[in-house]
Amino acid sequence: MKLALNNEPSLGDRAKIAHSVEARPPFLDHIFSEYVNGLPPSLKLGYAPDKSGEERDQGPYWKKDSDVLRNILSEKWVLREAGEPFVAQKLYERKKHLYMALTRWPKEGPMHTKLREICTREAVEKLGFVDNDVIENALSRGFGDDADLQSSRQLLVVGAWITIGERFGVKTAKLGG
């Protein structure tokens, strides 16, 4: 399966993100961070009407948005401008890389198996606010080549609620109390 949405190099981002590693260096200077957070949005989003749609094409998700978002606005503008004298032109003009984690997992694969272990009838009913029939339906529809992505998302959220509830001893939710 090819995950890249464009022909640019991944720079190792996909491998890091696939293993939940945040490899971008943080801004450790809190004074600088506070200063940047206080800047007006007009400095954070640059206006570049001279850029054509072809130059600014950001992939299939941007295509749904208006021409203003897709063709004219440049994110992190002040940071990009501040770094221009210190980086190669190719880096300065580089588009953001869209990362898409896998959204479909195989039936009976590790994710399906794990969510079946977590999302048992007993565990779902212990939450007190989730319909177990919906979860059982999601377990049958959320995996495989023709997976229903909404079902997959439901399972991930409910699985997280169950795990957190068990780990921290959260009591069953009761209506009105």
Q: What single DSSP character describes residue 69?
A: I
pLDDT at 108: 95
User: What value does the mean pLDDT take over residues 22-51?
Assistant: 72
Radius of gyration (C-alpha) of the chain in whole angstroms: 22
Note the pLDDT tens digit of each residue in 83-101: 889 988 888 877 766 555 6
Which of 3 and 168 is assigned the larger pLDDT?
Answer: 168
Are the C-beta atoms of residues 74 and 48 closer than 8 Å to each other?
Answer: yes
CA count, 13 A, side-chain hemisphere, 39: 16
Please state the domain extents for the chain.
Answer: 13-93, 110-168
Q: What is the pLDDT of residue 24?
A: 62
Of 112, 115, 113, 119, which Cα lies nearest the Cα of 147? 112
Mean pLDDT score of the chain, rounded to an integer?
76
pLDDT on residue 32: 80
Task: Extract the tokens encoding 98.
Answer: 């869209």
When pLDDT is averaged across residues 45-55 and rounded to a whole number, the result is 58
Q: Which pTM was predicted?
A: 0.48
Top mean pLDDT of 35-44, 67-76, 92-101, 163-172 is at 163-172
- Give buried/exposed letters for 83-106 (b at 16+ CB in 10 A, else e): eeeeeeeeeeeeeebeeeeeebbe
